[in-house]
Structure formats: structure tokens, C-alpha cells
Amino acid sequence: MKHVLLGDEAIALGAIDAGLSGVYAYPGTPSTEITEFIQLHESKTPTGIFCRWASNEKTAMEAALGMAYMGKRALVCMKHVGMNVCADAFMNAAITGVNGGLVVVAADDPSMHSSQNEQDSRFYAKFAMIPCVEPSNQQEAYTMTQYAFDLSERLKTPVLLRVTTRMAHSRAVVETNDTPRPQNGMSLPQNVQHFILLPAFAKRNYAELVDHQTLFTDESNTSPYNAYTKGTAPERAIITTGIAYNYLMENYSPEEGRSILKITQYPLPLAHIRQLVADGAREILVIEEGQPVVEELLHGLVPSTVTVKGRLTGDLPRMGELTPDSVRAALGLAALETKQSDDLVVARPPALCQGCGHRDVYAALNEVAREYPSPRIFGDIGCYTLGALSPFHALHATVEMGASITMAKGAADAGQHPAIAVIGDSTFTHSGMTGLLDCVNTNANVVVLISDNLTTGMTGGQDSAGTGRIEQICYGLGVAQEHVRVVVPLPKNMEEIKQVLREEIDYNGTSVVIARRECIQTLKRHLKANKK
């Protein structure tokens, strides 16, 4: 059957057709659509698929490992920075190995369209010493997801599936199986000690993982997804990976006769690289999306007489996404004539929606903050990060999920007053709660302002793990009940909100102000659904 699918949707359908039993994820651009697609389609599968959002990427990774422990196939999805959150579980899953198939999807965001960095998740696969696949188009995103599950079950290891924004968010025709595979039944691991990482057992597992590196490389050498073609002018070769292969094919003229190695499975296929050198390569241009992972590794693999070119040498831009023009320039071709979008579309800075409750939160907070000589307001990740921009300019730092509370604590420990954290409800349950516990444990003089819009707004309105229980969570973490205050962020309540903020700033200890009003976008959807 043929479908027109986003790369994310192709991964989702590939996983469903591979006999998926559970997907675990925290929303994050550009990975969110994978889980949403499975949520929409799981009821059409014979036995259903577990597909609720997790509190964060670490809990997602651990739950998926648990499902794979029971012999079933599990998928974990996240944006690239989510890999940092789940790194502990991810690294150790490489040591335990798996029973049922376990595929971890990391969606990288080169050019940082909606992210705070452009880290390349292929480093994580290398770090954990597990196989990584990187589809070059939507068809491969579909077939390689099934392939990754097979690889995972055959080699008893988690497999990382890496995509980037353009692959995740562009559509193409994908031909799919007509007969999806059944899910695995439950089965226990043959050797339970593999999952007990006491040092004595872990050392044995780690030695096995080290031993398996040759096997993993052999798999890459023989992978149907890695392809080496010797050219008629092999002294100038090209190595290209994942979606970058498409950029090359769009711009490359076969008459040039260069040898081309397409890599979509790692560890690096050493046999192909050796062959490329043996065939006479004197110069290798590396075209890869993201950081110069392959380019750096090549320096230790090819003789010093072979020149390696790529992002490190300036032949391609050191940062940001590749473009057809940047690849053309690296190939020595002139740029194609294009129409600049600036002529067609007026640039518009990002802004909070009109009527959004975060606007009222910042309006009140800014007025109160001006009453103190040197306030510091630590922001977090969500729609409300836009409070750093015009017209509010309300934030003095925004680093990563959950950092608002702990950075405010550190600033308060250093003597700062007032130290205020602004965090959303979903980010609070993702990784803010433990920071609040740290505040309570030392009675840090901070105000934690939870802007509770009852959803995960920034990524499109997914469920938020703590909805309806934020006060109870704060009480449970030990915040005094009289210092957990709830306000409704509406213009008519401005005086009340400001007064509550003043009182909690003047309280010498840890307090929480919850500003609760539903995201306008999810409210509209809920009202529309209720009318039907």
C-alpha cells in the first residue's frame, strides 16, 4: 500500500508494522508526531499498543526497557536533548542488552529551529557502543524501523534510530507492508543476571559488549542500507550519511565518476572505507547532517596521505543544516538560482498567542519585580520561554528542562533576593520536582511560579503528567500548604496576583505560586469537541 507520510509518521507506521507493543515518549520537536501517529492508529491494531506520554525521557527509556525485558517490542522517542535526560538509562541499557526489540528514536535539530543546541545523537550511539541507523529518506524511515527491531532482537541490544528535522518533518510516498507482524508474546530473559548491574555482573556484560563491537561492525559492512559504489575517477571520493545522501543525489552529476559510500548504519562500515581507499581515494569529501562525526573518525582510519574534507575544513559550514547550495559549493558547483522567501513572506518574531495565560503571568511578574532593586527571574523550556523576548523581557536565564528552579536555588544560596523560577506544569513534572525538593530540604528563599496551562502547550497540547495534582505534588514534596498559592492569570485578577507574588517574595523560605488557566489552543479544541 502507498501512503504520503512525514518521516516521523513513516517511523511510527514502521514500528506498528514491526509488531510494536509499546511506545514511550516525552513530546519534543521534531519527534512528537511519532507518538501522536501511534496514538491515532493503535486501536486499529489487533491487540492495541501502549502509547501514553511519559513524565520525561528517562522514565520513558526505563519503561521501554522494562517492556523489552518482558520480551515485547518497545519504542522510545525524543528530541535530541532528551537523550541527555535519558542518558543514564540509555547507557546502561547498552550494558544489560535486551530481550524483546528496543529501538530508541532521537530526532536531532541542526540549525536549532526549536532547540537550545544542535548536539548530534550519533555520538550517543558511539558512546554506548550500540548500533545506530540513520534513514536517508521516508521509505527507509519505514523499512529501517522494522530492520532496527530485527537487529535489536538478533543482536540483543538497543538500537538508536537517528533522524534530523528535515527527515522528520517532510513528506514523501512510502510503500508499506500489507500484513503487519504480530506482537511478541511475553517471555523472560534467558539470563536475568544480565539485567542486574552489580559490578561483578556488569563487568561481564561490558566485556560482552566490547566483544560484540566486531560483530556490530560486520553488520554494518554487510548492511543492505550501506552502499559503496566505485567510480571511474575514484581518487576523489565522497562519504555521505543519512539525509545528506539526498542532498548529494540532488546535486551530483554521475559523469564526475567519484566513488560514493552511503552510510546509514553504524558503527562505521570499515570494510567499505578500506575498499574506498584501496580503490585509490586521495581525497574524501564527507557530507553529513549534524556535527562532523564521521569526518573526525575518518582521521584515525585512513592514511595521512588521504585528504579528508567536510565541516571541519570549511568545505561545508561548520554548523547548521546542510542546504542544496552548501552541498553544491562543496562539490565545486555554482549555486542554483532561487527566490528568497524574504521577498514573499514578511518575517514575524515568535510570540505568545493572544489571550494566553502566560501573558498575564508576565505582566504581573514584571510589575512586582520592578519593586525590587535587583530581581533575578530564571525561566524554563516551554511556550513561556518567549517571556524573554519583547514585549516582556522578563527572564534572566533559560538553560534546560527544570533548570529554572535549581538555578533560582543556587542564586538564592549565593545571596540573591528575590530569586524567582518560572516553569510550566509539564516541565515541572518532567524535571522540576526534584529541584523543588532540594529547595524544601534547605528552605531555600525562592518563589517557584508554576504557569499551569493544563497541557504541554509548546509541542501542540499533549497530556501533562501532573494535571489536576500540582498542589498535591508540592505538598508531598514538603512545601508548606500556606505557601502553595493558586491564582487565575486574567487581566481582571492583576492586583490579586501581584499581591500574592509580593507576599511570597517577602516570605523567607520556599514558596510556590500556581497560575492556572488552560492554554487557549487546547481550550478551543476542547470546546469544539464538546459541541460535536
How many residues are given for the chain? Answer: 532
The C-alpha R_g of the chain, in whole angstroms, comes to: 25
- Nearest residue (CB) to ligand SF4, 429 versus 453: 453
Give the SS3 label for residue 122: helix
Query: Which of 162, 358, 516, 517 is the binder for ligand SF4 (CB under 6 A)?
Result: 358
Q: Name the minimum Å distance from CB 519 to ligand SF4.
A: 3
Q: Name the minimum Å distance from CB 414 to ligand SF4.
A: 32
- Nearest residue (CB) to ligand SF4, 239 versus 356: 356
- 353 scored as a contact of ligand SF4 (CB under 6 A): yes
Q: Name the minimum Å distance from CB 477 to ligand SF4.
A: 24
| Contact in structure between 231 and 258 (CB atoms under 8 Å) | yes
- 457 scored as a contact of ligand SF4 (CB under 6 A): yes
AA identity, residue 398 = T
- Candidate segments 185-193, 255-263, 352-360, 361-369, binder of ligand SF4 by CB under 6 A: 352-360
Q: Name the minimum Å distance from CB 377 to ligand SF4.
A: 18
Q: Name the minimum Å distance from CB 520 to ligand SF4.
A: 4
- Nearest residue (CB) to ligand SF4, 58 versus 358: 358
In angstroms, what CA-CA distances link 94 with 103, 153, 258? 12, 13, 37
Which grid cell is 483?
Answer: 505557601
Query: Which of 67, 286, 383, 436 is the binder for ligand SF4 (CB under 6 A)?
Result: 383
Q: Quick check: bond before 303 cis, omega within 30?
A: no
| Contact in structure between 284 and 306 (CB atoms under 8 Å) | yes
Most distant CA pair in the chain: distance in Å? Answer: 78
DSSP state of 250: H
- Candidate segments 89-97, 197-205, 351-359, 367-375, binder of ligand SF4 by CB under 6 A: 351-359
- Nearest residue (CB) to ligand SF4, 75 versus 519: 519
Query: Which of 51, 89, 352, 407 is the binder for ligand SF4 (CB under 6 A)?
Result: 352
In 371-464, beta strands by DSSP E = 376-378, 419-424, 446-452
- 521 scored as a contact of ligand SF4 (CB under 6 A): yes
- Candidate segments 30-38, 142-150, 349-357, 509-517, binder of ligand SF4 by CB under 6 A: 349-357
- Rounded CA gap, 73 and 65, in Å? 9
**Judging by DSSP bridges, how do beta strands 227-229 and 171-175 pair with one another?**
unpaired
AA identity, residue 482 = E
- Nearest residue (CB) to ligand SF4, 386 versus 446: 386
Q: Name the minimum Å distance from CB 7 to ligand SF4.
A: 24
- Nearest residue (CB) to ligand SF4, 366 versus 521: 521
Q: Name the minimum Å distance from CB 452 to ligand SF4.
A: 10
- Rounded CA gap, 362 and 5, in Å? 39
- Candidate segments 120-128, 189-197, 348-356, 486-494, binder of ligand SF4 by CB under 6 A: 348-356
Other beta carbons within 10 angstroms of residue 514's beta carbon come to 19
- Nearest residue (CB) to ligand SF4, 193 versus 521: 521
- Nearest residue (CB) to ligand SF4, 225 versus 362: 362
- 389 scored as a contact of ligand SF4 (CB under 6 A): no
Q: Which residues 6+ apart lie within 8 Å of 506 measured at CB? A: none
Q: Which residues pair with 285 in a beta bridge?
A: 238, 309
- 520 scored as a contact of ligand SF4 (CB under 6 A): yes
Give the SS3 label for residue 222: helix
Q: Which residues pair with 133 in a beta bridge?
A: 161, 265
Q: Name the minimum Å distance from CB 106 to ligand SF4.
A: 25
Q: Name the minimum Å distance from CB 383 to ligand SF4.
A: 3
Closest Cα partner for 158 from 103, 213, 239, 99? Answer: 103
Q: Name the minimum Å distance from CB 350 to ligand SF4.
A: 9
- 356 scored as a contact of ligand SF4 (CB under 6 A): yes
Q: Name the minimum Å distance from CB 529 to ligand SF4.
A: 16
- Nearest residue (CB) to ligand SF4, 216 versus 384: 384
- Nearest residue (CB) to ligand SF4, 61 versus 356: 356
- Nearest residue (CB) to ligand SF4, 114 versus 521: 521
Q: ∠ CA 227-233-235 to the nearest 5 degrees?
A: 85
- Number of residues engaging ligand SF4 in binding (CB under 6 A): 10
- Rounded CA gap, 279 and 233, in Å? 10
Other beta carbons within 10 angstroms of residue 371's beta carbon come to 12
- 426 scored as a contact of ligand SF4 (CB under 6 A): no
- Nearest residue (CB) to ligand SF4, 141 versus 383: 383
**DSSP codes of every residue in 447-492:** EEEEEE-SSBTTTTSB--TTTT-HHHHHHHTT--GGGEEEE---GG
Site for ligand SF4 in 460-519 (CB under 6 A): 519
- Rounded CA gap, 439 and 405, in Å? 8
Query: Which of 31, 145, 240, 453 is the binder for ligand SF4 (CB under 6 A)?
Result: 453
- Rounded CA gap, 167 and 169, in Å? 6
Binding site for ligand SF4 (CB under 6 A): 352-353, 356, 358, 383, 453, 457, 519-521
